[in-house]
Every structure is written in C-alpha cells, then in structure tokens.
A and B are shown apart, each in its own frame.
Chain A
Amino acid sequence: MTINLAPADVRKEGSGFDLPMALGLVGCQGHFFGKQLDKMMFLGSCRWMEACVRCAGRCRQRWRRGVWVEGAGGAEANAKEAAVVEGVDVYAVKSLPQAVDLVNSPESFTPVKVDARQMLSEAAQYSVDLRDVHGQQAASAPWKWLAPAGTTFLFIGPPGAGKTMLAKRIPTILPPMSLEEAIETTRIHKRPLGAGRQVGDW
C-alpha cells in the first residue's frame, strides 16, 4: 500500500494528514461511490490542530468550498477557528464514518458559522488597563504614543522590573484590528516554534 504526499519536494510536517490518509484508504474500498474528492479539502487529526486559519485561507484561495476539520475533543473549536475565514464552508466531523457521510451527502450537514466581528469585539475587552501603571516613566511614557504608530519595542530589564506587565498593556492602547489584521496576527500567533528556530527566523 503506497501513500504519496505531493509535492514531493516539500517537507510535510504536522498531524493534519491523518484524516486525508484515512479517507484515501476508505476511498480505495469504494465507499465514495465515484465522488470526486479532488474538489474538496480535508484537514484533520486526532490531536489539536494549530493552523486552521492558515489552511482555511488556502482553501478559500483555491476552491471556496469546504474545510472539514476533525479532532478528538477539538473538532468544534478547530472548526470555529477555521470558520473565521470568510467564503469557506467549514464542517466539523468527529468520526471517520461521519466524514464519509459528509463526502457522500454534504447537503445533510450544516457548516459551522461564527460571527467573527463579534468575536473580535469581545477580544478587544481587556482585563488590564494602562492606568494601572504608576511610575516606570522611562519605559511606559515613550510607547504611549509610539506604539499606535507601529514602532517596535524591546524591553530589557531584570526579573520583576515590569516588562511583562507593560507588554500586556500595549494592546489596550492600540487601535482595534480589522478582521484581516486579526487573521494575520493569528497566523503568527499559531506558528509553532520548532526546535532550534528563533523568533528572528520568522
């Protein structure tokens, strides 16, 4: 039995191939009744997926059809994350037979829908406030007007100086992000740091 992952010259990483491989094996058994799977995108694993937004974005560019997410204990959460990308129908399946049913009769499944703008407004409510900061003028005063302009900062100091405390309050004075900006930020946030990879390598 041969499973080919194309293109061959690209290193395949991650656990997102569990579901496509399983569906390929099921397809070899004739369970799809001649359905064309090359117009669909499958994404899933037995574990939590880290890159749903990126993959949903790729799906939108190519097909505008469906991303089907499977994950034990995380299917709904993964699907909600992927559904943030507009123009893609995202389905959450929890088992292989359910995925097969989805291929054979997609009209009987309802795509996951999320209100991304409401999620964004909820995320803009912060539990911390810049007004909590007293002192530390050397660190806090400059970025009060430079941070909204997009200036990059590097905090250096001994443990307990307040670097993290200040950094957590930077988003509270930034202008609200648009949906596209939030997706770009999520892509960076969800980027796993592999062994030996430095932040500067991004």
Chain B
Amino acid sequence: MGFDAYLVEVEVDVGSARMQDFNVVGLPDNAGRKAASGSKARCETAGSSFLMVRA
C-alpha cells in the first residue's frame, strides 16, 4: 500500500584523474548529473579546508 523509497548507495572515488572531471554512473537523471558539479562547488564554498585536493 502506498509508495516506498528505494535505497541508493553513493560511492565516490577520487582516482588519478583530474579533479575537475566528474563521471557519474548508475542511471542518474539530469538533476543527479548536475548534483556532482554542484557538490564540488559546495565543497569549495564551504571553506578552505574542503578545497578539492588529493588527501
């Protein structure tokens, strides 16, 4: 009865590629693809400690 949500696991891998390149896999819609670049921007605007550099 009713509608249920399904669980989605988000896995992030910072490989050897350039930090500017995003590859979102797993059948995302447009909002999901845009969320990746938006997340990077959010990290960078959250403070200097979240700047996207390799750990």
Contact = CB atoms under 8 A, between A and B. Distances in A.
Q: Of residues A14, A25, A28, A191, which shows the largest number of chain B Cβ atoms within 10 Å of its Cβ? A: A25
A1 B21 contact: yes
A10 B27 contact: yes
A3 B10 contact: yes
Q: How large is the interface on A (under 10, 10 to 19, 20 to 34, 35 or more residues)?
A: 35 or more
A54 B9 CA distance: 16
Interface string A18-39: 1011101111111100000010
Interface stretch (A55-63, A106-114, A121-129, A138-146): A55-63
Interface residues of B, number: 42
Nearest to A95: B46
Interface of A: 1-15, 17-18, 20-22, 24-31, 38, 42, 45-46, 51, 54-55, 57-58, 62, 95-97, 183-184, 187-188, 191, 202
Interface of B: 1-15, 17, 19, 21-29, 31-32, 35-36, 38-40, 42-43, 46-47, 49-50, 52-53, 55
28 contacts: A3-B23, A4-B12, A5-B9, A5-B10, A5-B27, A5-B28, A6-B11, A14-B32, A15-B35, A17-B31, A17-B32, A18-B39, A20-B8, A21-B12, A21-B35, A21-B39, A22-B43, A24-B11, A28-B12, A29-B52, A29-B53, A38-B9, A45-B35, A54-B4, A58-B6, A58-B7, A96-B50, A187-B3
